[in-house]
Amino acid sequence: MIEPVVQAVDIVKWLGKGAAQVQALKGISLALRGGELTLLMGPSGSGKTTLLSILGCMLTPTRGTVRMRGRSTEGAGPEELAKLRREHVGFIFQSYHLFPTLTATDNVRLALDVRGDNSARAIAKSKDALAMVGLAGKVNAFPLELSGGEQQRVAIARAIVGEPSAVLADEPTASLDGENGNAIMTLLAEIAKDSSRGVLVVAHDPRILCFADRVVHIEDGCIIREERGDAALKKDHGECAAHDRADKPDRMEN
Amino acid sequence: MSLIYRLASRNLLHDRLRFIATVIGIVFSVVLVTIQLGLYLGFGRIVTTMIDHASADLWIMPPGTKCFEDPSTLDERTRFQALSIEGVAQAAPVVIGYADWRIPAGGTFPVFIVASDLREGGLLPWNLVEGSLEALAIPGAVAVDRSYFDRLGIHGIGANAEIRGQKVEVRAVTNGIRSFTTTPYVFTTLDRGRAFTATPANKVTYFLVRVSPGADVESVRRRLTANLSDVDVLTTADFRDRSRSFWLFGTGAGFALFAGALLGMVVGTVIVAQTLYSSTKDHINEFATLRAIGSSRLYIHKVIVCQALISAVIGFCLAAGVGLVVVAATADTALPIVMTPALTLVLFLLTLLMCVISAVAAIVQVTRIDPVMVFTR
């Protein structure tokens, strides 16, 4: 069996303090495999973003283990987690989070610059990444000169330029119209064809189900169902993974 | 080239008004520090003008003399004792003291008499622009600096006045021999100097010692100290230090200048810190994004420090321009502000240090950034 690029095992996460403390994740296990686009769906407050943050080494779980390319992140400090992020994870955000004062090329190049790669080759790679997302003609454009769809493409180029093991996208189409949303999902599906890379997309838009190889439904901090993408719309809701252990890797439907 | 510099410069220029305010703050601070330290240097130089221009390897003076202007006296016999010491080639007497200059048109003005033996030298006027040293041998002859003409109520060579009831005539004019006390120096011969300052004929203020060719100054100094009683024997450098130390620190003037410089630094640091902090706050999303995509804290700290350094360099360049104007404007005053290459370098390093210290608050702020905030903004 191919080793998952990112694997979360029995993740529990409490957020907040004192009386305001809530359990955001209740014993979730999820493996992100290379060559696969996984869609993480669920209502607001279900724990999608918290899970994405933990898989992307931004947050540490209260309990449970995350393995990035087989390496456990347990006990890793903020700087070690940052190193794992820059070497293995590419992030795409709903509101793009581009740097308005930098050109498209420089925005993409940042992902390499934070790794210490500021060579001429880094500039060439950044331009190649922009070409790959269809922005070869906009390498010198500033974010405000680009449409929302184009800005998200720049963000995708930034996410993939460092050839990460995992690309994690948080609602990448939420700020876009249907046409641009489809174009972005097509691009992410294309990126996910690389067997060395897994793509996880957090979304609640059912129109993008057709792009997923696998769909994971999360609700109230539990994975309630996993299914193949092409059958996602047909499946019924299941029970909370925390109750019947349906979320365990050995019970997955793929 | 790393994007650190580009990010830093664009962050700064993103809000031009704030950047201008930062630069003005730095310029204000650096100019203030320049003036204070320039005054310190200028004061340090001007209080030792006479010592610097005396032709002496060693100074014999009354014990406990604090500075050149200290009017205590020595006995003339000390001179002969000194000349008998091995390695002493010459011991020229100098008499100093305050006197009143009676202005021909009426009224008096205090002057500082510096009197030497014209044949032996010692402390004779320099930078002569009119007249000659030899002319001082003429009865009643004195030399004054032309910058004091108005104050002394005279017009130049040939002008007459009175000191302690004795007629004097200006026979030599110097340029640039100014006193930081604003009391004009009046150069004259030893005998006249004694008369003007009411110094007894067997008393002098200093003996300026020249050592024999090849003699070791420090050895001669030790021998003089061992053989002469009730005197201090200092090298020119030591007397310069003692005099400077008295005027700068004994009077508190140096502390006041340093306090002013420190205040300038504090004001500059606060201004730059405030603007860097608010700039960082404005760009907090971008710093969080950097953190989210895996940048180390060091990378972000470098961006902020780079912002501080860019501000420092631009601020310093402008401040240096203003400083040069101030230096030029005070060049001919009693207390010129002095700017040396070493002071310029020190000021540049201080500016860099000030701006880097200013970055600390902003750095503390970004150190607390939680990268997860990118999902909520």
The per-residue pLDDT for range B298-335, each reduced to its tens digit, is: 999 999 999 999 999 999 999 999 999 999 998 877 78
**Exposure string for B42-64, b = 16+ CB within 10 A, e = fewer:** bbbbbbbbbbeebebbbbbbbee
Give me B107's structure tokens.
């009224």
- Nearest-CA distance A250 → chain B (Å): 31
Contact A82 B372 (CB under 8 A): no
* Lowest mean pLDDT, pick from B175-179, B332-336, B364-368: B332-336
Cβ contact, residue pair A106, B3, below 8 Å? yes
pLDDT digits (tens, 9 = 90+) for B119-148: 887 889 999 999 988 999 899 999 999 988
Mutation choice for B interface testing from A58, A119, A165, A201 by most B CBs within 10 A: A58
CB contact under 8 A, A82 and B290: no
CB contact under 8 A, B293 and A158: yes
Q: What is the pLDDT of residue B169?
A: 93
Binary contact (B375, A85; C-beta < 8 A): no
- Give this prediction's pTM: 0.77
Q: What distance in Å separates the CA atoms of residue B280 and residue B278, rounded to the nearest whole number?
A: 5
Q: With cut-offs at 50, 70 and 90, classify the pLDDT of residue B371.
A: confident
Alpha-carbon distance B264 to B268, whole Å? 6
Q: What is the tens place of the pLDDT at every residue in B190-228?
A: 999 999 999 998 999 999 999 999 999 999 999 999 999
Cβ of A114 within 8 Å of Cβ of B296? The answer is yes
- DSSP secondary structure letter of residue B121: B
Q: What residue in A sits closest to B13 (Cα-Cα)? A: A101
Residue A49 to chain B, least CA–CA distance (Å): 8
Residue of chain B minimizing CA distance to A89: B293
The mean per-residue pLDDT over the stretch B244-252 comes to 85
Question: B231, B251, B184, B185: which is closest to B85 by C-alpha?
Answer: B231
| Residue whose C-alpha is closest to residue B234's, from B46, B245, B42 | B245
| Residues from A in contact with B at Cβ < 8 Å | 49, 52-53, 58-59, 78-79, 82-87, 89-91, 93-95, 97, 99-102, 106, 109-111, 113-115, 118, 158, 170
Q: Report the pLDDT value the prediction gives residue A233, as an integer from 0 to 100.
A: 45
Between CA B310 and CA A189 the distance in angstroms is 44
Q: What is the pLDDT of residue B293?
A: 93
A30 sits in which H/E element: strand A22-32
Question: In chain B, which residue's Cα lies nearest the Cα of A170?
Answer: B375
Tell me the β-bridge partners of A32.
A6
- Specify the pLDDT at position A2: 63
From residue B287, give the alpha-carbon distance in Å to each of A224, B295, B368.
36, 9, 11
E strands of chain B, at which residues? 58-61, 74-75, 88-102, 108-116, 128-131, 141-145, 160-163, 166-174, 185-189, 203-204, 206-211, 232-235
Share of chain B above pLDDT 90, in %: 47
Nearest CA in chain A to B11: A101
Tokens of A28: 């979730």
pLDDT reported for residue B256: 86
Which residues on chain A are in Cβ contact (under 8 Å) with B13?
101
pLDDT at position A147, please? 92
Question: What is the C-alpha to C-alpha distance for residues B223 and B58, in angstroms, rounded to an integer?
Answer: 12
Residues B36/B258, Cβ–Cβ less than 8 Å: yes
Which residues in chain A land under pLDDT 70?
1-2, 230-254
**pLDDT band with cut points at 50, 70 and 90 for residue B362:** confident
Query: Any chain A CB within 8 A of the CB of B290?
Result: yes
User: Which B residues 258-287 touch A at CB under 8 Å?
Assistant: 285-286
Asked if residues B63 and B197 have their Cβ atoms less than 8 Å apart, the reply is no
> So what's the pLDDT on residue A87?
92
| B64-118 pLDDT, tens digit each | 899 988 888 999 889 999 999 999 999 999 999 999 999 877 888 899 999 998 8
Which residue of chain B comes nearest to A115, CA vs CA?
B295
**Do residues B50 and B68 lie in contact, with contact meaning Cβ atoms separated by under 8 Å?**
yes
Task: State which amino acid sits at residue B290.
Answer: L
Q: Which among B6, B286, B375 is the nearest to A106, CB-wise? A: B6
Report the SS3 class of residue A87.
helix
Question: Long-range contact list for B148-155, CB < 8 A, 24+ apart?
Answer: B148/B184, B151/B109, B151/B184, B152/B101, B152/B103, B152/B109, B152/B111, B152/B184, B153/B103, B153/B104, B153/B105, B153/B107, B153/B109, B154/B104
A189-198: pLDDT as tens digits: 989 988 889 9
Distance from CA of B20 to the nearest CA of A (A): 18
Among candidates B3, B6, B372 on the partner chain, residue whose Cβ is nearest the Cβ of A58: B372
Residue A226 CA to residue A224 CA, distance in Å, equals: 7
**CA–CA separation, B306 and B7 (whole Å):** 9
| pLDDT score recorded for residue B238 | 94
- Give the pLDDT confidence of A128-157 residue by residue, as tens digits: 999 999 999 999 999 999 999 999 999 999
Cβ <8 Å between A118 and B3: yes
Nearest CA to A164 out of B297, B286, B294 is that of: B294
* Token reading at A154: 């720049």
CB B134: neighbour CB atoms within 10 A? 11
